[in-house]
Chains A and B, each alone.
Chain A
Amino acid sequence: MSNGRFGIHGGQYVPETLMNAIHELEDAYIRYKDDPAFQAELTDLLNNYVGRPSLLYYAEKMTKDLGGAKIYLKREDLNHTGSHKINNALAQCLLAKKMGKTRVIAETGAGQHGVATATAAALLGLECEIYMGRLDTERQALNVYRMRLLGAAVHTVDSGTATLKDAVSETFREWVSRIDDTHYVLGSVMGPHPFPTIVRDFQAVISREIKAQLLEKEGRLPDAVIACVGGGSNAIGAFYHFIEDEKVQLIGCEAAGRGIDTKETAATLSTGRVGIFHGMKSYFCQDEYGQIAPVYSISAGLDYPGVGPEHAMLFESGRAQYVAVTDEEAVQAFEYLSRTEGIIPAIESAHAVSYACRLAPTMRPDQILVVNISGRGDKDVAAIARYRGEDLHD
């Protein structure tokens, strides 16, 4: 493993009370990541429980309609629980079990990671508690009930801005107070080392499959891979096995909210600066004194003021490009994909779809674009209806 650094980014900026726990996790991860028995058990779960490999679907109607590059959709929305989050949640819960932990805790924004963790915990017989900002419990009421149905306790977080960043802070606090029997299933490629590496490795299955599937269908690599970026777990998963293939363009789509020239945005790389927060050095939305800025996006899953350290490195090296997509553009893409392909994407993933719609017509028909559909949009239907002025509630 790297020493937890991605260029200058990453590191382990956590209180002393957590150091022992993250060292213990690093040791366990080193021990199990190449352990054939662990990998066989994980692969069996991914294939027979999650439903992997997920489809790589040729979006023919979208391709024809946009009139440019050939568009493939990586269907992470078809995974059990409806998003890519299960890849990491299941793997970390399995790791926690091997470490002798009996209880898992997790933060959640949109609720997808909370549902995935609650699901994995139910399957593997672990006690589970989820921390979620009050604002998000209101935006994603259905997912709250879903987690409870799966046997998890859901704690509402009222501190700070009562969204994802506060849920992360609260989960770290809870972990400090009960480390012996508890593992923190962090949901994105962020936080202190070893989390950004662990989560990336568990999500890298996405790009491993895209590569193999596209080689089989087209006999070649894609020209571009597009994914949405909040903390950045589905994006790093979709990028990882292409990083060395320099001809493959990697594009991350951040949530611009109401626009990157407004304060109501969550586009960290477009508007933030380098800082130190939540255990890592990376880019953060912050004011001139380093106070973390309140962020906004229609998408609860992208509503986070930071980005994973590996993305910060890819951004600085120019290996990946990061663009900002507004609420309105994402909602239009949400509706477009539903209508055109009969696929309702998560509002998070719709940010990536939106940029694909912009990019595809500028590319040649012999070029290939892969869009990661990180999750399905059922959870967002009521919120989008309200955005469009309809009085619809979950």
Chain B
Amino acid sequence: MTNISEAFAHGKAFIPFLTCGDPDLETTEKLIPALAEAGADLIELGIPFSDPTAEGPVIQDANLRALSGGTTTDKIFDMVRRVRRKVSVPMIFRTYANVIFSYGPDRFLKTAAQIGISGIIVPDIPFEEREEFAPECRKYGLVQISTAAPNSHHRVHAIAEQAEGFLCCVSSSGMMETGSSTLPGIGAVMQHVRAVSDIPCVVKGGISTPEQAEAACRQSDGVIVGSAVVKLIAAHGRDCVPPVSAYVREMKAACRRAD
């Protein structure tokens, strides 16, 4: 079993996100070892959902591309099972509650644990609803990643106290995609977290350049980059492995500069 804490054992963590099956599962299967090789400390694998309400347009489109190509939860499990034999990088699934609920939380989380997935991050399961899948996560030893936002205010304490693995800190109350050069609100969130917990905190949202990654890592333990990676995949399709690898290498180097 791969432990999430390994992702934070080598300095500031760089965590790329990609949607499984975008543009197809064969490409995803090649991308995962390439990202690990390029320095990804943990990989967030999106299982596509028809209505990804918490994503901006870039990742929404990736979800629809993956689904229209016939990607299913079972096919993703098969792909991860194969790729797990080649890589040791920790991997977590990011998907929506209905994908897990519909598959059956027990069956989904049992399978995820068996194929070497370390945790789940479910954007439409907030702190208050985490018991929806918590019993099965505990049963199979999966970590349920929590999120804190600048507008979580007093709730950040409770969220941080119960957080496991790492805490995902959204860098603005909006779902900003790539572009902004500042990370509003992160300082305050980190302050609240650090008052109650020393759990690793990673920043998510609004990070696309090495400069932004370095700046975010100076305030945190790492970054998650989603839409910038997905944009590269969209632009290069099946030929995306070299450009995405190069990008990850550059971003991981930027994170290292903040060590």
A interface residues, Cβ below 8 angstroms from B: 11-21, 159-160, 165-166, 169, 172-173, 176-179, 273-279, 284, 286, 288-292
Inter-chain contact count A-B, CB under 8 Å? 113
A286 touches B98 (CB 8 A): yes
B98 touches A15 (CB 8 A): no
B98 touches A16 (CB 8 A): no
Q: How far is the CA of A284 from the CA of B50 in the complex (A)?
A: 13
Q: How far is the CA of A274 from the CA of B175 in the complex (A)?
A: 28
Q: How far is the CB of A158 from chain B (nearest CB, A)?
A: 10
A20 touches B50 (CB 8 A): no
Check: B138 CB closer than 8 A to any chain A CB: no
Please indicate the chain A residues that have their CB under 8 angstroms from the CB of B72 in the complex. Answer: 289
Task: Give the contacting residue for A20; candidates B57, B67, B73, B152; CB below 8 A.
Answer: B152
With A13-B129, A16-B152 as contacts: A169 and B51 at CB distance below 8 Å:
yes
Q: Which residue of A lies closest to B123 (CB)?
A: A15
B interface, size bucket:
35 or more
A13 touches B124 (CB 8 A): yes
Task: Give the contacting residue for B174; candidates A20, A176, A290; CB below 8 A.
Answer: A176
Task: List, sorted by A's number, 20 A–B pairs whose CB atoms are closer than 8 Å.
Answer: A13-B125, A14-B124, A15-B126, A16-B126, A16-B146, A16-B159, A19-B127, A19-B152, A159-B60, A160-B50, A173-B53, A273-B102, A276-B98, A276-B101, A278-B53, A289-B73, A289-B74, A290-B100, A290-B101, A291-B67
B124 touches A179 (CB 8 A): no
Q: Which of B100, B102, B159 has the most CB of A within 10 A?
A: B102
Binary CB contact string for chain B from 66 to 93 against chain A (1 if under 8 A, 0 otherwise): 0100001110000000000000000000
B126 touches A19 (CB 8 A): yes
Binary CB contact string for chain B from 104 to 122 against chain A (1 if under 8 A, 0 otherwise): 0000000000000000000
Check: B97 CB closer than 8 A to any chain A CB: yes
A277 touches B103 (CB 8 A): no
- In addition to A13-B125, A273-B102, 4 A-B residue pairs with Cβ atoms within 8 Å of each other are A11-B129, A12-B128, A13-B124, A276-B101
A14 touches B126 (CB 8 A): yes
A290 touches B98 (CB 8 A): yes
Q: Which residue of B lies closest to A160 (CB)?
A: B51
Task: Give the contacting residue for A288; candidates B102, B148, B159, B173; CB below 8 A.
Answer: B102
Q: How far is the CA of A289 from the CA of B67 in the complex (A)?
A: 11
With A286-B102, A292-B50 as contacts: A19 and B124 at CB distance below 8 Å:
no
Q: Which 3 A-B pairs have the closest CB atoms?
A: A290-B102, A177-B174, A276-B97
Q: Which residue of A lies closest to B159 (CB)?
A: A16
Check: B236 CB closer than 8 A to any chain A CB: no
Q: How far is the CB of A307 from chain B (nearest CB, A)?
A: 15
Check: B190 CB closer than 8 A to any chain A CB: no
Q: How far is the CA of A21 from the CA of B152 in the complex (A)?
A: 9
B51 touches A292 (CB 8 A): yes
B148 touches A16 (CB 8 A): yes
Q: How far is the CA of A18 from the CA of B170 in the complex (A)?
A: 12
Check: B166 CB closer than 8 A to any chain A CB: no
Please indicate the chain B residues that have their CB under 8 angstroms from the CB of A17 in the complex. Answer: 54, 149, 151, 170, 173-175
With A173-B53, A173-B175 as contacts: A12 and B98 at CB distance below 8 Å:
no
Q: How far is the CA of A209 from the CA of B123 in the complex (A)?
A: 41
Please indicate the chain B residues that have their CB under 8 angstroms from the CB of A178 in the complex. Answer: 174
A289 touches B99 (CB 8 A): yes
Instruction: List CB contacts (< 8 Å) of B121-173 with chain A.
Output: 123-129, 132, 146-149, 151-153, 155, 159, 170, 173
Q: Which of B127, B129, B159 has the most CB of A within 10 A?
A: B129
Q: How far is the CB of B128 from chain A (nearest CB, A)?
A: 6
Please indicate the chain B residues that have their CB under 8 angstroms from the CB of A16 in the complex. Answer: 126-127, 146-149, 152, 159, 170
Q: How far is the CB of A22 from chain B (nearest CB, A)?
A: 9
